[in-house]
Amino acid sequence: MGFRMGIVGLPNVGKSTLFNALTKTAAAQAANFPFCTIEPNVGDVAVPDARLDTLAEIAGSKQIIPTRMTFVDIAGLVKGASKGEGLGNQFLANIRETDSIAHVLRCFEDDDVTHVDGRVDPVGDAETIETELIIADMESLEKRLQNIVRKVRGGDKEAVQQERLMKMAMAALEEGKPARTVEVDAEDLKQWKMLQLLTAKPILYVCNVDEGEAATGNALSAEVAEMAAAQGNSHVIISAKIEEEISQLDAEEAAEFLGELGLEEAGLDRLIRAGYELLNLQTYFTVGPKEARAWTIKEGTQAPQAAGVIHGDFERGFIRAETIAYDDYVACKGEAGAKEAGKMRAEGKSYTVQDGDVLHFLFNT
């Protein structure tokens, strides 16, 4: 599995520029006017992972297939979007279809790039968007609570559970708190996710800074960092302009360009890593002479379910997983060396897959 991250923010904060850079396409028009993105642009990008290249080299794999993630560039929201202002509710619906939100905040001064509210205030921008999402969630819950009354009166257990969860969410929203602040018991998680609340989605703040501040950030990004920490959210500092320039270079040129700017890695790498942490994701590998491939799973996934990411038959007919830790695979210079050194293990259905595991699944057809 990959994951789907929606790129949101006010108009002219650099969303489409960042999207173009991330997907290395010009599919999202980046222009200095509000609502230049009319339909949500969707782009699949490969997740960079140096471990995959190392494994492929050791195994002599003919093909390298990275895992992928999806970015959705969602048009600029404005104050009043939940009431139909700007381009209105259609974009709130686009957010519902994502797993997480990358909220791009303008942390740069530029008189040539207009701000929809005529000022540069990333914390204020974040509050504007959060408020619109809270209002949208409240309106959704009000309608659903009205529609569920009859089932609750009839004693429908699922309806009773849904009503309880919706009222928990509404209580938080009425206090101006997002739904992700609500503590939900394990037995309620499935129904909670089915509510599809916008403010329940994990959020990552993306501070878009000038090219000269990409390595260190600035006073505005520091304000965002403080806000994110207080909320228990994450943030990354990126220059969308730099990312767009890097996207046009080959690997060697990109590395040289980053070095000149004092950056160790591209913003895409930082964004993906932060996204993985946000959604508690990890990677395992399958390696052979034909291909070396990366697969994304949730932390805590057991071997049969990890096998199911490749194909449902692998999960249904799971017998065992032959497992080599990444470090052992590299140190032993491949599968044969790992076997000889006793580093290959046979794991059963209860095995919890670890990040970097090199796996081979045995299953009944």
| CATH number assigned to the domain comprising residue 323 | 3.10.20.30
Does residue 212 sit in the same domain as residue 331? no
**Sheet containing 234-238, strands listed edge to edge, beginning at the edge strand earlier in sequence:** 41-46, 68-73, 4-8, 100-106, 203-208, 234-238
Looking at residue 88, its pLDDT comes to: 47
Does residue 181 sit in the same domain as residue 246? yes
Does residue 210 sit in the same domain as residue 167? yes
Looking at residue 14, its pLDDT comes to: 85
Pull the structure tokens for residue 10. Answer: 């006010």
**CA-based nearest residue to 1, from 289, 219, 295, 204:** 295
Does residue 163 sit in the same domain as residue 268? yes
Confidence of residue 80 (pLDDT cuts 50, 70, 90): low
Q: Which of 278, 312, 332 is the last residue of a domain?
A: 278
Q: Which of 231, 247, 278 is the last residue of a domain?
A: 278
DSSP state of 198: G
Q: Are strands 281-287 and 318-324 parallel, antiparallel or unpaired?
A: unpaired
Task: Decide if pLDDT at 244 tops 50.
Answer: yes
Burial class (CB in 10 A: 0-12, 13-18, 19+), 248: exposed
| Average pLDDT value for the chain | 86
Range name among 11-25, 121-135, 155-169, 293-307 with the lowest pLDDT average: 11-25
Say how many domains are in the chain: 2
Looking at residue 93, its pLDDT comes to: 75
Task: Decide if pLDDT at 78 tops 70.
Answer: no
C-alpha 116/C-alpha 200 separation (Å) is: 26
C-alpha 164/C-alpha 312 separation (Å) is: 34
Residue 287 lies in a domain: no
Does residue 98 sit in the same domain as residue 132? yes
Residue 182 lies in a domain: yes
Does residue 137 sit in the same domain as residue 175? yes
Residue 236: strand pairing partners: 206
Query: Could you report how far apart the first and last alpha carbons of the chain are, in Å?
Result: 22
C-alpha 126/C-alpha 230 separation (Å) is: 13
Residue 248 lies in a domain: yes
The string of pLDDT tens digits covering residues 286-314 is 999 999 999 999 999 999 999 999 999 99
Annotated binding site for ATP: 12-17
> 283 near 49, Cβ under 8 Å?
yes
Looking at residue 79, its pLDDT comes to: 57
- One-letter identity of residue 197: L
Whether pTM > 0.95 for this model: the answer is: no
Does residue 131 sit in the same domain as residue 23? yes
* Cβ neighbour number for residue 267 with a 10 Å cutoff: 23
> 41 near 72, Cβ under 8 Å?
yes
Higher pLDDT, 97 or 121: 121
What b/e readout covers 109-129, taking b as 16+ CB neighbours within 10 angstroms?
eeeeeebbeeebebeebbebb
> 184 near 192, Cβ under 8 Å?
yes
Task: Decide if pLDDT at 266 tops 50.
Answer: yes
Annotated binding site: 12-17
Over residues 82-89, the mean pLDDT reads 49
Residue 294 lies in a domain: no
> 324 near 282, Cβ under 8 Å?
no
Task: Decide if pLDDT at 252 tops 80.
Answer: yes
DSSP 3-state percent helix, strand, coil across the chain (nearest 5): 45, 20, 35
C-alpha 67/C-alpha 209 separation (Å) is: 29
C-alpha 31/C-alpha 34 separation (Å) is: 8
The beta strands (E) that lie in 224-270 are given as 234-238
Residue 293 lies in a domain: no
C-alpha 84/C-alpha 87 separation (Å) is: 7
Does residue 226 sit in the same domain as residue 310? no
Range name among 18-27, 62-71, 104-113 with the lowest pLDDT average: 18-27
Residue 351 lies in a domain: yes
Does residue 328 sit in the same domain as residue 249? no
Does residue 268 sit in the same domain as residue 306? no
Q: Which of 222, 245, 278 is the last residue of a domain?
A: 278
Does residue 267 sit in the same domain as residue 214? yes
The beta strands (E) that lie in 54-96 are given as 63-65, 68-73
Over residues 255-269, the mean pLDDT reads 86
Q: What is the CATH number of the domain that holds 149?
A: 3.40.50.300
Residue 288 lies in a domain: no
Range of the domain at 351: 300-363
Helix and strand numbers (H, E) in the chain are 14, 12
In 97-185, alpha helices (H): 122-153, 157-174
C-alpha 350/C-alpha 337 separation (Å) is: 26
Does residue 336 sit in the same domain as residue 245? no
Residue 69 dihedral angles phi and psi, to the nearest 5° = -130, 160
R_g of the chain, CA atoms, integer Å: 23
Residue 121 lies in a domain: yes
> Percentage of the chain with pLDDT > 90?
55
